[in-house]
Amino acid sequence: MARRGFTVKKDWDNPVEHAMPAEARVPAEVRLGAVVVRPATVLAPMAGVTDTVFRRFIRHASLFSRDQKTEIREQTTELRNQRTELESVDAAISNVESGCGLIMTEFTSADGLARMRETKRRRYLTFYDDEHPIGAQLFGSNPETLAEAARIVEETGFDTVDLNLGCPAKRVVGCNGGSGLLRDLPKIGEIFKAIRKSVTIPFTVKFRMGWNDEQIVCVELARMAEAEGLNGLALHARTREQGYSGQAQWHWIAQVKQAVRIPVMGNGDIRTPEDAAAMAAETGCDAVMIGRAAPANPWIFRQIAQYTATGSYERPTNQDRYRMIRAYFEMLLLEAAATKDLPRDARMGDPVGKMKQFATWFTHGVPGGAKLRAAIYQARTGPDVLSEVEKFFATQGDGSVEVDVAQEFPEVALVCD
């Protein structure tokens, strides 16, 4: 049985180690209606994780392995001006530089979205030009409300809209949302019809195998999605009862793939490029969707693309980890500075709290990472957090770049004091 509350775990239960299969790679692209996802890798929607800062962070993760000190300073200047551009890449080598083909928002309540003021919608639906292609995920149980929320998503400029039928959280299931709807396929059919009629952008659904092992509905649900004109689907190969525990049952992804002609995205237990390739080989899925591995290893999309193209991939050094942590924290502070004069509903939340949340993800596997986490948890301001990061990595084997935080980011210091 999964843990109470179904909190997203930062580790895996007895993970299976996969070798790189010779006969398959992650596809170079997948088409969701008119939207081309290249390469066929997707950042899964995760509550409390995939906000605009993290999405752009993942989109540009390839920038965080540069070697020259001057390039780090150039990078932070680009972030400050919010003008970071994707590097030109060759699609034939599976977009080896940018890595992630489609990014997704946190799941958003359709009921809340339909009721909230325009300023508050901005907070939940904000995205930047460099995030395309981007999909917005909705949850709810009322077909008309979901249809209205989907129209808002389309009018806002998102490339796709996705329906959440996978969240196992009690507060969501208790409202008959998320995986709670897996017990009511007729209602899901009504929702599919309503949303499909309301928007012209590609419409996808993310769901689990079923409520429990005795109620597996994924194949039937996939056929319903295809019949109602959805453009793709993603299966998290666990039941609601499993939450995030146990093993993902990839054979159900294969069965869904065999049952429909629309694109199938596989999700569950992809921790490494080898895992991604193994899922593609074992299931025939058209794309892979990655959730909790992304905040633990933000390089994973680039690594998958490199592995697909060359059969090998770069592993992060301590210097890479330093730059990654610092870059994300700086992005949080700069976003807070950029939104501080907006109405309260539209402002970014507490950046220091977000830093502390992500410290657990980012220091996973870092030698002595517990000390850095403890120091970050005790810090009171954003510049204090960055200072602790500087001090920690200055003691690591391959060093770090010394930067005066207050001098480089005076606008950040003003926001966080």
Active centre residues (catalytic): 167
Overall size of the chain counted in residues? 417
Residues 237 and 396: their CA atoms lie apart, in Å, by: 39
Residues 341 and 364: their CA atoms lie apart, in Å, by: 35
Residues 187 and 169: their CA atoms lie apart, in Å, by: 20
Stretch (H or E) spanning 415 = helix 410-416
Residues 216 and 226: their CA atoms lie apart, in Å, by: 18
Residues 221 and 205: their CA atoms lie apart, in Å, by: 10
Count CB-CB contacts under 10 A for residue 73: 13
Residues 412 and 417: their CA atoms lie apart, in Å, by: 9
181 φ, ψ (degrees, to nearest 5): -70, -15
- Which alpha helices (H) appear in 250-409, and where do they start and end? 250-259, 273-283, 293-296, 300-310, 318-339, 351-362, 369-378, 382-394, 405-408
Residues 277 and 17: their CA atoms lie apart, in Å, by: 12
Give the amino acid at 192: F
Count CB-CB contacts under 10 A for residue 391: 12
Rg (CA), the chain: 21
Q: Say what angle helices 382-394 and 318-339 make with each other, to 10 degrees.
A: 170
